[in-house]
Amino acid sequence: MTIAQFINSSLGRKTVMAATGLFLCAFLVEHLYGNLLLFCSDGGQAFVEYSHDAVRSILIRSIEIVLFAAIVLHIVQAVALTKQNSDARPVKYAVYKVGETSNWFSRNMGITGSVILFFLVVHLKQFFVPYRITGLEEGENIAHEVKEAFENGWYVLLYVVSCLFLAFHLNHGFQSAFRSLGLNNKKYEQLLSIAGSIFAYVIVFLGFASIPVLFYFGLAGTTF
């Protein structure tokens, strides 16, 4: 079997989905670390320096290209795999049968993924495009831009809801990725499930969602 044939097979698509998904999980951890620098009592200087270093680093810029490629590949494979599964099962299972074998989130990864994609586009337009492409106006500070964005109640609501959907998506996807890569083990299945939930709901959801909420209520960013 050639590489192209493997990638286009059901197993290949699941493997690519799993690998890109775990890579994106690693990125989320790094991104969260950078965002948490906003809590430093230094007028946002640590966050600004972190952001500037990311712009100047050839390594980071190269990883960004890989990251965007991984996102696109993850989406393409998700759509292809969904269509492939749908074509292979033209007669839908009865609702009660489906409910007995899977939960809502595992059956609707496309919905949670779509919400995440929508937020990603909005988020990139809000921060990435002006900071990395068009450039901030003279005198503007990326930390101040973040603070101003988090003073907008609608944006904070969108951010928190999107983080929740991301957590739903990751809670199933994290465990599924290990199964697709053949790294799961019956002995550690329960532990993997717990680890996935902790990563999704504690690290990702609480970690990311707490930032805009604390800024919005004036509990953070007071030194900016």
User: For the whole model, what pTM was predicted?
Assistant: 0.81
Residue ranges of the chain whose pLDDT lies below 50: 93-96, 98-101
Residues with Cβ within 8 Å of 94's Cβ and at least 6 positions away in sequence, in order, are none
- In order of 11, 16, 79, the CA distances from 113 in angstroms are 20, 16, 10
Predicted confidence (pLDDT) per residue in 144-165, tens digit: 889 999 999 999 999 999 999 9
Among residues 20, 4, 128, 8, which one has the least CA distance to residue 71? Answer: 20
Predicted confidence (pLDDT) per residue in 168-194, tens digit: 988 888 888 887 777 767 777 888 889
Residue 166 sits at the vertex; the CA angle it makes with 217 and 69, to the nearest 5 degrees, is: 120
- In order of 133, 160, 191, the CA distances from 121 in angstroms are 15, 15, 34
Q: Delimit the domains of the chain by residue range.
A: 3-216
Assigned CATH for 3-216: 1.20.1300
